[in-house]
Amino acid sequence: MSPKTKSKTPLMRQYDDIKEKHPGTILLFRVGDFYETFADDAELVSKELGITLTKRNNGGDQTPLAGFPYHALDTYLPKLVKRGHRVAVCEQVEDPSEAKDAGRKVVNREVTEITTPGVTMSEKLLEHKRNNYAAAIYWAGGTAGVAFADVSTGEFALSQVHKNQVDDLLQSISPSEILLSKSRKNNVPAELQDHNITFIEDWVYEGDYGYNLLTDHFETHSLKGFGVEDLNVAQIAAGALMHYIQETQKASLGHIKRLQAFENQEFMSLDGSTKRNLELITSIQEGGTEGTLISILDDTCTAMGGRLLRKWIMSPLKRLKPISRRLNAVEALNVNHDARENLREELEQVGDLERLISRICVGRANARDLMQLKLSLAQVPRIKMQFSKLDEPLLNDIRDRLKLLIEVQERIEKAIQEDPPASVRDGGIFKDGFNDELDELRDVARNGKNYIAKIKEELAQETGISSLKIGYNKVFGYYIEVTNTHKEKVPEHFIRKQTLVNSERYITPELKEVEEKILSSEERSKTLEYELFEELRLYVSEFADEVQRIAQALAELDCLQSFAEVSYRNNYCKPAMADDQVIDITKGRHPVVEKTLPPGEPFIPNDIHLENEDEQILIITGPNMAGKSIILRQTGLIVLLAQIGCFVPAKDAHIGMVDKIFTRVGASDNLAAGESTFLVEMNEAANILNNATRNSLILLDEVGRGTSTFDGLSIAWALAEYLHNQPSVAAKTLFATHYHELNELENMYDHIVNYNVQVKEHDGKVIFLRKLVRGGADHSYGIQVADMAGLPSIVIERAKEILKNLESHSLDITDSNGTLAEGAKKKAVAAKKAAKDMDKQEQIEQMSLFQTQLDPRIEQLIDKLEASDPNRMTPIESLMLVSELKKLVENSK
């Protein structure tokens, strides 16, 4: 032991030992009535919580110290965890008197819980309608195993995917914390760097440790019963996650009953940009839920239903049968208004069964939690009654899954007071008559004052001292107080304990006997109540699996009634679902925008027809603010709503099953990753072309705007051709653009059709009609929109002049296999002729003013121009040639 260690106080040596066992955490060290932090933890806590930083004399050193009262734990702990810190709570696990009797200078302390962003049971850290996941990831070559769990509900799942699909999976579950091995500390993938990451020891991922940990927890010989036996990479991630949960919770995890395989093939694929652009659960601008799809759809009455709804929105179904089951159930609830309204009233009385049973299982519940569980279970028969007459298959299935658990309700009802205290250690939990021993102890405790009063009366009569008093303090316990005026009357068997100015205090053997009986009965009563509560808690925890199944059934019922309620209130229609290639929407509306319009302003509905063999690609032109983006997004949302089993905002809708939805909408950059706006745009476009199928839906908005006009037009043109010509990716596509040249595509390709969003121009002003009609727009009205925005008139007039000049030099383009359009041909031929007529030596002499010899690159361009044939060039090749000639002129100046 070093001299420095020897000089530390026993308390600080104990602190250091515990801190060393829990690296990477803030250690809240219980000292009496305070939680204290020391050294670096103290400086961090002082900064994060705004509490005073002081010093503690630690064997001569002045150690930084910061603390707060123990009763403020629920206030300060959530603040630390919300800032991304892991916090270990270290409690005194024995009474100080026990340590003193054993000859020890410090009491025994242990870490009883580690709270992290992803692993917590604290109500102040959990959102009622949102899961709180911790996820673990393990890579093996091109395969990734991902496991995720919500310890507050008992959900535990794993998935094995290609390494490129990890980000999409994580966006579906939005984990609060991600676990990686320490070996990846300096090699964290870019897509994970914005997440809250915790690194755990490498050995946790090695050998059969994780597999054995899982089989030990679930008490099985293998994982075959869960259908995950062959997911070897995912098993490693799941084992690491289970290890982390066990290390942090330090309690029974009996509520984690099942290991589920998260089957990606069951759900529609939504990449990150699609979830973001469609604003499913988070708005692009504010990051909250306002203006999102879930803000419209969530009319759930329970916390479980709210959480399940988020999952349904982020994971639409892609098989016809389960979608139709949901839609039929929604229809039954939609048309039966009384049943739906009564059902909603009963559901509102149900507590969060998933989190209640989880707290009960891990030993963090109180008597009020048990009462809430009882009251919630009592709602089940009332809930079943509300839709018992709706003979619908899915609702019947849910009704069958709603077990009553009468024995649990009766056990709690017999035991717990109607309004029990919050603490489980202060007594007052159980009803009289529940336990004979407890009744006897309570009788002594309750009648103690009567015993004392009786003794006082007897002593007063015996001694003749009418002013005699009996008091109590922590030093002497019960005592007899006699004023000095009457101290001659004090009997000999009174034992003097204290002399005061005007009185004397005494005790008697009889008084001490009564005192011991009274005081011990109070303590024994509290201890017995805690033991009885633990016994009841363990009994209830045995029904965790049944309670969880009831909670899941109620959550599903709640989501279905929410769909029905929202659909009824907002005049949605039931979509016709089919395994075909047709999307046909009549008078479709944007579910969010229609609710946010100013009073009196109607939403203009629009029709959309898409099918792979006819109108596969719709080129949609029109000015800014006309509503092109809204039409794209509402189409995507209508398809998504249909495939989560909800009615849709339209007069009528036929939805052919879609396997994926892709969006390329808006302009943004990723400066942290060194990606420009255009690079982000191209990354998203590449993702679409590499992953789309014939059964996908693609929504493209202004592709190519992040670069020059020629480059952007070329890319947009080529992308549209590719989506049309490549059978494997010939998906149904809405393509909104300002490049009016793309209207030419309709004349070249069988499955491309032009549409535009109508506007009217009056006295130089633009009137937006918001109506999608057949045919292409001829210009974008950008200057008129700029005028509406308030640009100075001199800027507007100059812009009109420039536009007029630019439009006089416009290009005409035809298809990729045919002849170059007349306008482009003439310009290319003229350029070629001018180059041929120019004397090559004269070029060199002119350029020698700036350089001694002809740039080899210019020679190459001239050679390329001479070798070109305008009659055989594609539109893209023609535009590239013009661009190269322009660069030649600029470099020659």
| Sequence ranges of the chain with CATH classification 3.40.50.300 | 576-779
Copy the structure tokens of residue 423: 């603490």
Of 10-24, 307-321, 842-856, where does the model show the most confidence?
307-321
Binding annotation for ATP: 622-629
**Could you give the C-alpha distances from 483 to 413, 476, 663, in angstroms and in order?**
52, 18, 91
Binding-site residue ranges:
622-629
- Give dist(CA 85, CA 690) in Å, integer: 39
Q: Which residues contact 518 (CB under 8 A, 6 or more apart)?
A: 444, 445, 448, 451, 452
Is the model's pLDDT at 397 over the cut of 90? yes
Residues 143/163, Cβ–Cβ less than 8 Å: yes
Stretch (H or E) spanning 228:
none
H/E run at residue 279: none
Strand arrangement of the beta sheet that strand 61-69 belongs to: 54-58, 61-69, 34-38, 26-31, 87-92, 109-115
**Confidence (pLDDT) at 842:** 42
Homologous superfamily, domain 3-115: DNA repair protein MutS, domain I (3.40.1170.10)
Q: How would you classify the pairing of strands 134-140 and 177-181?
A: parallel
Please state, in angstroms and rounded to a whole number, the distance separating the CA atoms of residues 862 and 286: 53
Residue 347 CB-half CA count within 13 A:
29
Between CA 45 and CA 627 the distance in angstroms is 50
- For residue 61, what pLDDT is reported? 67
Kindly report, as residue ranges, where domains of CATH 3.30.420.110 are found in the chain.
Answer: 134-266
Burial environment of residue 582 by CB neighbours within 10 A (0 to 12, 13 to 18, 19 or more):
middle
Q: Give domain 134-266's CATH number out of 3.30.420.110, 3.40.30.10, 3.90.1150.10, 3.40.710.10.
A: 3.30.420.110
Q: What is the DSSP string of 323-383?
A: HHHHHHHHHHHHH-HHHHHHHHHHHTT---HHHHHHHHHHT---HHHHHHHHHHHHTHHHH
How high is the pLDDT of residue 291?
Answer: 87
Give the span between the Cα atoms of 405 and 543, in whole angstroms: 9
Query: For the segment 831-874, what is each residue's pLDDT rounded down to a tens digit?
Result: 344 334 444 444 434 444 334 344 555 565 666 666 666 655 66
What 3-state class would DSSP assign to 759?
strand
Q: Where are the domain boundaries for CATH 3.40.1170.10 in the chain?
A: 3-115
Task: Count the neighbouring beta carbons within 10 Å of the beta carbon of residue 833.
Answer: 10
> What phi and psi, each to the nearest 5 degrees, are found at residue 337?
-65, -45
Residue 305 CA neighbour count, 13 Å, CB half: 21
The pairing of beta strand 143-150 with beta strand 197-200: unpaired
* Whether residue 816 has pLDDT greater than 70: no
C-alpha to C-alpha distances, 853 to 647, 848, 859, nearest whole angstrom: 72, 6, 11
Write down the pTM of the prediction.
Answer: 0.81
What H or E segment, with its residue span, contains residue 421?
A: none
Place 116 in a pLDDT band, splitting at 50, 70 and 90. very high
Q: What tens digit of pLDDT does each residue of 91-107 get?
A: 988 877 777 777 788 88
Give 288's pLDDT tier (boundaries 50, 70, 90): confident
Task: Count the alpha carbons within 13 Å of 770 in the hemisphere toward its beta carbon.
Answer: 14
Closest CA to 664 of 702, 628, 711, 631: 702
Find residue 660's DSSP bridge partners: 269
* 298-405+543-570: CATH topology: MutS, DNA mismatch repair protein; Chain A, domain 3 (1.10.1420)
Q: How far apart are CA 663 and CA 654, in angstroms?
A: 21
* Six-digit token string for 657: 């099953």
Give 397's Cβ-side CA count (13 Å radius).
Answer: 10
Helices (H), 706-790: 709-725, 745-748, 782-789
Looking at every residue in the chain, the average pLDDT score rounds to 84
Burial code (b: 16+ CB inside 10 Å, e: under 16) for 777-803 equals beebbebbbebeeeeeeeeeeeeeeee
- Domain 436-536 belongs to what architecture? Orthogonal Bundle (1.10)
- How sure is the predictor about 446, in pLDDT bands with cuts at 50, 70 and 90? confident
Q: Under CATH, which architecture does the 576-779 domain have?
A: 3-Layer(aba) Sandwich (3.40)
Using pLDDT thresholds of 50, 70 and 90, give the confidence band for residue 443: confident
If one compares 362 and 806, the residue with the highest pLDDT of the two is 362
Q: What is the model's pLDDT at position 6?
A: 52
Report the Cα 808 to chain-centroid distance in Å. Answer: 53
Phi and psi dihedrals of 66, rounded to 5? -145, 135
> Which residue ranges does the chain devote to CATH 1.10.1420.10?
298-405+543-570, 436-536
Rounded to whole angstroms, the Cα distance separating 32 from 11 reads 12
